[in-house]
Homo-oligomer: A and B are copies of this chain.
Amino acid sequence: MNINKNYLNLQDSYLFSTIAKKVAEYTQLNPDKKIIRLGIGDVTLPLAPTVVEAIKKAADEMGVQSTFKGYGPEQGYSFLREAIKKYYSKKSVDIAEDEIFISDGAKSDLGNILDIFSLDNTVLVPDPVYPVYVDTNIMAGRKIIYADANESNGFLPLPDENVKCDIIYICSPNNPTGAVYTKEGLKKWVDYALKNDAIILFDAAYECFIKSEELPNSIYEIEGAKNCAIEFCSFSKTAGFTGTRCGYTVVPKSLIKQGTPLNKLWLRRQTTKFNGVPYIVQKAAEAVFSELGQKQIKENIQYYSENAKIIADTMESKGIWYTGGKHSPYIWLKCPNNMSSWDFFDYLLNNIAVVGTPGAGFGKNGEGYFRLTSFGDRNKTIEAMERFKKLF
């Protein structure tokens, strides 16, 4: 029997383990120093009260025979898909219920969607990038090419007509750079995909951080996108569901490749390899869309956004080049004094006990850049930036 040898081509990422090791060493040498972690990519605020109540109510239903729920539809309950459909209609995007698939998170579906595509497709990923896009394609043995994201294009690369690819990853607002495509920028990608018979996998996990009506929350705000794009969304950052696990994937019925509707292929994949998201979790997600739920989660998003502004304002005040921070929980800054990503990591840790994430960990174009995040505590974020201001 043969293993999938493509797995042997995966590179182990030592990014977060190296960070942990360096922080542990520093702590041992400086036991009295108060470390502030601004590298964290996970939310820290608790679930909204109305979401907690929804889980408890659903749990009670599961404990009574007349309201007990066994196997549900693999693609999700109608009550949640309808709520998502309404959420889209507020952005003037018309999505049908059977174009929405409830998932256990964007990460799962971003990996699993590749099942329905041939192994001989060429994949285009921006660099720097969320490592999952690359690793899932290495696992399948697909050819991967990169689109350079850098200071000159504001870390928002545009299509190159001379480059031929079949599957395009776009994450906007971006992880790790926090950069957000305008409608005009996304339109260029949609046009490229339509012209080149390519598909766009659009990761919208951070869409809730967009505060401008002018910027697209969904790729389906762009004309033609329903013929070339699949959109991945998540409750993780929207509603603090990183440990509760729920998201959704939109596969338009008008998305047809080689005469086959991708919606039908994905439905077949999900009914065969997935058994749906827990009922109690889908009820939790439904509560996010209630009037009270929206009010409560917006308070949390506002909290993180204000943290982001505190960090971004600090960069402004010091004349440090950065992207993100305005419509994103991430601030992606150019390391001062031409320091490398890791040198800057050490410099911040050793001088002001602030921990961030070296940009080099996200791809070659990340070298010389650094990611700070807004998911931490307000007072700690303020203190970290006070220390930062004194240092530079």
**Which residues of A does B touch, CB under 8 Å?**
1-5, 7-8, 10, 42-49, 51-52, 55-56, 59-60, 62-65, 68-72, 104-105, 107-108, 111-112, 115-121, 132, 135-136, 139, 166-167, 197-199, 240, 242-245, 257-258, 260, 262, 265, 268-269, 272-281
Contact = CB atoms under 8 A, between A and B. Distances in A.
| Minimum-distance CB pairs A-B, first 9 | A111-B273, A2-B118, A1-B166, A52-B63, A42-B70, A55-B59, A69-B243, A70-B242, A46-B68
Contacts of A44: 65, 68, 70
A74 to B, nearest CB: 9
Nearest to A134: B272
Contacts of A7: 116, 260, 265, 268-269
Given A2-B120, A243-B279, A269 B68 contact: no
Contact of A272 (B8, B48, B136, B274): B136
Contacts of A244: 62, 278-280
Number of this chain's copies in the assembly equals 2
A265 B4 contact: yes
A62 B47 contact: yes
A43 B260 CA distance: 36
Given A10-B268, A243-B71, A3 B275 contact: no
Contact of A2 (B59, B121, B279): B121
Given A62-B244, A139-B115, A281-B278, A3 B260 contact: yes
B118 A4 contact: yes
Contacts of A275: 104-105, 107-108, 242, 245
A117 B70 contact: no
Pick from A46, A108, A198 the residue with the most CB of B within 10 Å: A46
23 contacts: A1-B199, A2-B117, A2-B120, A2-B258, A3-B257, A3-B262, A4-B115, A7-B260, A42-B70, A46-B63, A55-B55, A55-B59, A55-B62, A55-B280, A56-B59, A68-B243, A70-B240, A104-B274, A108-B274, A139-B269, A244-B279, A278-B278, A280-B280
A224 B286 CA distance: 48
B257 A132 contact: no
Given A70-B243, A278-B244, A281-B278, A272 B132 contact: yes
B64 A1 contact: no
A268 to B, nearest CB: 6
A116 to B, nearest CB: 5
A38 to B, nearest CB: 16
Contacts of A107: 273-275
Given A118-B2, A275-B108, A45 B62 contact: no
A117 B245 contact: no
A117 B1 contact: yes
A3 B116 contact: yes
A1 B62 contact: no
A294 to B, nearest CB: 17
B5 A118 contact: yes
A113 to B, nearest CB: 10
Pick from A44, A48, A115 the residue with the most CB of B within 10 Å: A115
Contact of A42 (B45, B71, B279): B71
A59 B116 CA distance: 36
A7 to B, nearest CB: 5
Pick from A71, A72, A279 the residue with the most CB of B within 10 Å: A71
Given A46-B62, A55-B280, A59-B59, A197 B273 contact: no
Contacts of A272: 111, 132, 135-136, 139
A121 B281 contact: no
Contacts of A280: 55, 244, 280-281
